[in-house]
Amino acid sequence: MSQIDDFGKIWLRGFLSPEFGVRVDEVYFVIGTGDPKNIQSLIYNNYLIAAIFYPDKKNRVFRRFPLNLVPKSPGTLFNGFTKTKHADINAITYMDSGVDEFICSEKIYFLNNSGEIDPTKIMMLTKWK
């Protein structure tokens, strides 16, 4: 079963600054911009699910990345990755075809009793199957 193995910033070719990303097995996913402490992610039913809180916009963005997408965006591991050697990589990004996105109010309740994201609540909210 896949799991999130490492996380940090990834600098994509042509971008002005690095963005938050995770490594699942040997595949890199660029989840998006924002403060890493406001980003939560998990693996659920062959998807990487990410929840990003933007306090300045007072909203949350949920993104769903199929784990079988092919990484096409060249980039470089920037910082934060502690279990992965620095390398040039290809990544799957939140802008790629096949990635779903849902934006809602910051007040939407999507955490479980432990304060972790609850994928079943996200799936119901977004109507993703």
pLDDT in tens, 93-110: 999 999 999 998 866 667
Mean pLDDT of 4-12: 96
Determine the structural domain holding residue 23 and report its residue range.
4-126
What's the whole-number mean pLDDT along residues 51-80?
93
CB-based burial label for 124 (10 Å; 0-12, 13-18, 19+): exposed
Within 8 A by CB and 6+ apart from 78, the residues are 8, 9, 10, 11, 18
pLDDT at 45 over 80: yes
Residue 113 tokens read as 């009793």
How many domains does the chain contain in total? 1
